Structure 1
Amino acid sequence: MSQTDIWADGDHELGEGARCVDGRLVFVDILAGRLSEVPEDGRRTPRELLRLDVPLGAVAPVHGRHGHWIAAAGTGIALLMPDGWPEEHSSVPTRMNDGVCDPHGRFRAGSMPYDGTPGVGSLYRTDPDSSVRRALDGMTIVNGPAFPADGALLYVADSAAGVVHRCTLDADGNATGREEFARIAAGGSPDGMVVDDTGRLWVAVWGHGAIHRYRPDGALDATIPLPTPQPTSACLLREGGRLLITTARHGLTGATGVAGAVLAVTVDATAPAAHAFGAP
């Protein structure tokens, strides 16, 4: 591990959902409803791609449709177009949060209650035919769905409980079992996650200012301290051994330092680029 650098300047209130897409990092500022991009080939100022007037939890690219995104937005799943507005879904007293496409092109996104009511959050699955179903329930703040390259496992965090769950998936992507994979110590919460090419899980730990790396057997084998307390998501580049980390200044007072910037750490790991919605 090496020194942490600022990958991209920014003052994001709740940066989240870092994904590598077509040679660039894309990420959201949830409460501001912003989607931004930064080229992977050096430190840059983020460029805003679009802005909504509802919270934007996460996006994934739509296969074969440049500039289109499947998104966890407001209180549902929406299709974002370059100059368009998302179709609204059913209204519930929650908001959508983090999400990602699995290796088979299905979009998985979590929800969370505004008032923190336990057990209200769910993980939703949107298939390429645009059907939406609840895949997992009984959680509170659902965060960081992540998959290994073969798509046989699903990692999902309940941030409020401090737990990362691991689910086995059948050939159709349905969960056939759920177990506690890791538990974060009191004061920290698992947030965004990514699985590297060797099957290790990298977890942004909100409140502890660190990235945790877990082996496939659940053992914690590395901790990367960060210069800000609220990392929100982790993304590994396909080449070059760089871990990119979004951070948040939400709720911090006084001088916030690098909170809200995108950080970069040199690591001994790589991961596939983000999967596109509807990709075969």
Structure 2
Amino acid sequence: MTSTALPAAVVVDGAYELAEGGRWVDGRYVYVDILSGRLFELRDDTEPAAPRELARLDVPLGAVAPVADQPGAWIAAAGTGIALLTPDGALEWLDRPEDRTPAPSRMNDGVADPAGRFWAGSMAYAGTRGAGSLYRTDPDGTVVRVLDGLTIANGPAFTPDGTTMYLADTADGTVLRCRVDPVSGDLSGVPETFAQLHDEEGSPDGMAVDEEGCLWVALWGAGAVRGYHPDGRLLHTLTVPAPHPTSVCLHPDDHRLYVTTARYGVKNPTAASGAVLSVPVPVRGTAACSWRRLRPATAA
């Protein structure tokens, strides 16, 4: 294992309450500030770094993925469900399943898989145990509850072939590994525990898989990011200057790891809390996948 305190540069000191969901999309870094419902982009060629606000919603925004062949459109885990976010900032709801749960809840992190489906988790505002779920949105817009009984569903992250999904339950300190049928999107068998963290190690939050298939995990409460081999071995521990890292994103063309962090729950925050950080790493990542929306057939 390599443990290091490589210098983490503050790329954006945004004073975000809960920055999350960092993804690399079309030559830019995209991320959200969950509780304020805002979506940002950061261009790789902008010096100094100047984030641009792409959307501002009146509900929390957990994560987005681009919609294939629709520039400027996103599928979003927002409020109590899944919606399409149009280029003009309007929401078109596909479903709001968390409206039908007993505990007041919201959507959390989400990502598109290589087959073009969108996966997103949920959580109760009060952190009620077992109140969170994982949902899959198929190309036809159908939203399916895939797993329930979670508490704070985070990630998910997919291997490049789409057959393996990693999913964190932050409150339980658990990273699950799920086998996915790339054709149907169904889970094969029971999810297995890939990593179990103890309280002093922090809680697994946002995750990403690098080009070599290794898993990178932001550790809320520990000021650290870990890198794991697919066989479960701990390869790297990176220290970051903020107690609550929330998501990780590996640059696909450079050896850089982007890390979002939170001010939420920090008594004496510095410029590194509620920020976007950059840390040098020995590997690269892959660009975010898109949700591949099926268009209705037109009448002859």
Using the size of structure 1 for normalisation, the TM-score is: 0.96
Contact 2:243–2:266, Cα closer than 8 Å, also in 1 = no
CA contact (8 A) 1:7 1:263 kept: yes
In 2, distance between residues paired with 1:154 and 1:273? 16
Q: Is the 8 A contact 1:146 1:155 kept in 2?
A: yes
CA distance in 1, matches of 2:193, 2:108: 21
For 2:34, the aligned partner's letter is: I
Cα shift readout 1:110-145 (whole Å, capped 9, x = no counterpart): 000112211111110001110110111111100010
In 2, Cα distance between the equivalents of 1:29 and 1:251?
A: 15
CA distance in structure 2 between the aligned counterparts of 1:18 and 1:259, rounded to whole angstroms: 15
In 1, Cα distance between the equivalents of 2:45 and 2:285? 17
Please give the residue correspondences for 1:14-163 in structure 2 after superposition, counting only pairs within 5 Å. 14-41=18-45, 43-88=48-93, 89-90=95-96, 91-92=99-100, 93-163=104-174
Q: How far did residue 31 of structure 1 move?
A: 0.1
CA contact (8 A) 2:141 2:293 kept: no
Match of residue 275, structure 2, among 261, 265, 274: 261
Q: 1:8 offset after TM fit, Å?
A: 2.2
Q: Does structure 1 conserve the Cα–Cα contact (< 8 Å) formed by 2:10 and 2:271?
A: no
Aligned twin of 2:188:
176
Unpaired runs of 5+ residues, structure 2, are 295-300
Number of positions where the alignment pairs a residue of Structure 1 with one of Structure 2: 280
Shift in Å at residue 279 of structure 1? 7.2
Q: Which residue pairs with 1:201 in the alignment?
A: 215
Task: Indicate if the aligned counterparts of 1:33 and 1:56 stay in contact, CA closer than 8 A.
Answer: yes
- Give the letter for the 2:108 counterpart: N
Q: Note the C-alpha offset of 1:169.
A: 1.2
| Contact 1:9–1:44 (Cα < 8 Å) also in 2 | no
Q: Is the 8 A contact 1:9 1:46 kept in 2?
A: no
Give the C-alpha shift of residue 255 in structure 1: 4.1
User: Is the contact between residue 235 and residue 243 of structure 1 (CA under 8 Å) also seen in structure 2?
Assistant: yes
What letter matches 1:209 in structure 2?
A: G
Larger Rg: 2
Please give the TM-score of this superposition, normalised by the length of structure 2: 0.90
Structure 1 residue 45, shift from structure 2 partner: 2.0
CA distance in 2 between counterparts of 1:279 and 1:21 reads: 17
Give the residue type in structure 2 aligned to 1:29: D
Question: Aligned partners of 2:268, 2:134: CA distance in 1, in Å?
Answer: 35
Q: Secondary structure at the match of 1:252?
A: coil
Structure 1: give runs of 5+ residues left out of the alignment: none
* Residues 3-36 of structure 1: CA deviation (Å, up to 9, x unaligned): 2111223111100000000110000000000000
2:280 and 2:266 mapped to 1: Cα distance?
27
CA RMSD of aligned residues (A): 1.4
- In structure 2, distance between residues paired with 1:279 and 1:145: 20
- Given residue 23 of structure 1, which amino acid in structure 2 is its aligned partner? G
Conserved 8 A contact 2:221-2:244? yes
Q: 1:279 to 1:147 in 2, by over 3 A?
A: farther
